[in-house]
Amino acid sequence: MGILRRVHLKTDSEIELIKKSSLLVGKTLGEVAKLMKPGVPLYYIDRVAEDFIRDNHGIPSCKGYCPGRGYVPYPATLCLSVNDVIVHGIPNGYVLKEGDIVTADCVASVGGWHGDFAYTFAIGEVSEEKRLLMERTKASLYEALKFAVVGKRIGDVSHAVESYLKPYRYGIIRELCGHGIGRSMHEAPDVPNYGPAGQGEMIRPGMVFCIEPMIAAGTHKIKEDNDGWTIRTADGKPAAHYEHQVAINSKGQTEVISTYQYIEEALGMNN
């Protein structure tokens, strides 16, 4: 029998504190976006992100994070996942190349509250397969956000991702999912990217959680590198990952408290 985890509901004032952390993540990813070019090594991108977070009175939540006994603490600020890496790619000496796609997943805390979201970047011109995967994965996130409202269930959010992507026959990663967030990086409820509608936790005021489709161009099966963190697609095909953080206030209103604004400005998408 699994252990039941209680959802920690937040007050409006606590949500405001979480929003500060989420804003810092957004600005950090804006700085990261400026570096997403051929010739840039991953470790440099990570260093810039860490410096930016610390210079803005935040703490990089991932650095040193250890989920339990038997794990190696995560050694970096960002998860930078290139091509067939789905999540938890450790920034190293790999130099970005034309045609790569790379997901930057960033978690930062201000005052003990965590902000967390992710974005997949194209490095120069990418293949049609990768472009469509990114486009459709991002679209599935926005489809899921429509169901992140009071009165719906987490399963409705999950089903929205799956039903949107079903026609494309992509691999929806099953071992990884979205999650609640607050004083801890990962809280209840889990937010899968597949499953039947009408199931799971009822969405209600005070909930703060992350929705994050992690989608592969081929199989949904995964494999893990020997570093204990890097998760790849089993068939070596590319994967995309987008994430937003939502909060339900005391009036039952849903707010997307993460923002891609700074990323889009850096990429010239608002021009």
4 inside domain: no
Residue-by-residue DSSP string for 112-177: TEEEEEEEEEE-SS--HHHHHHHHHHHHHHHHHHTT-STTSBHHHHHHHHHHHHGGGT-EE-SS--
For the cut 60, the answer to whether the pLDDT of residue 263 exceeds it is yes
Average pLDDT over residues 20-42: 98
1 inside domain: no
**Measuring CA to CA, which residue among 61, 62, 57, 105 is closest to residue 81?**
105
For the cut 70, the answer to whether the pLDDT of residue 3 exceeds it is no
Q: What is the pLDDT of residue 4?
A: 52
**Measuring CA to CA, which residue among 161, 155, 187, 157 is closest to residue 173?**
161
User: 93: which 2 tokens?
Assistant: 């000496």
DSSP 49: H
Each residue of 78-112: pLDDT tens digit? Answer: 999 999 999 999 999 999 999 999 999 999 999 99
Q: What is the pLDDT of residue 67?
A: 87
The residue segments making up the domain with residue 151 are 12-266
For the cut 70, the answer to whether the pLDDT of residue 5 exceeds it is yes
Distance CA 186, CA 62 (A): 11
271 inside domain: no
242 inside domain: yes
Q: Is the entire prediction scored with pTM above 0.75? A: yes
pLDDT confidence tier of residue 42, bands split at 50, 70 and 90:
very high
6 inside domain: no
Q: What is the pLDDT of residue 271?
A: 52
Average pLDDT over residues 264-270: 93
**Percent of the chain whose predicted confidence (pLDDT) is above 90:** 96
Distance CA 82, CA 264 (A): 20
Distance CA 247, CA 16 (A): 10
Each residue of 215-226: pLDDT tens digit? Answer: 999 999 999 999
Q: What is the pLDDT of residue 69?
A: 77
Which residues neighbour 159 within 8 Å (Cβ) at sequence distance 6 or greater?
147, 194, 195, 196, 197
113 inside domain: yes
7 inside domain: no
Q: What is the pLDDT of residue 220?
A: 98
DSSP 202: B
Overall domain count for the chain: 1
User: 209: which 2 tokens?
Assistant: 């959680």
Any idea what the CATH number is for the domain that residue 99 is in? 3.90.230.10
138 inside domain: yes
Distance CA 140, CA 55 (A): 34
Pair type for strands 171-172 and 214-216:
antiparallel
For the cut 50, the answer to whether the pLDDT of residue 184 exceeds it is yes
Average pLDDT over residues 218-242: 98
Q: What is the pLDDT of residue 23?
A: 98
Mean pLDDT over each residue of the chain, to the nearest integer: 96
Which residues neighbour 164 within 8 Å (Cβ) at sequence distance 6 or greater?
136, 139, 140, 143, 144
Each residue of 139-170: pLDDT tens digit? Answer: 999 999 999 999 999 999 999 999 999 999 99
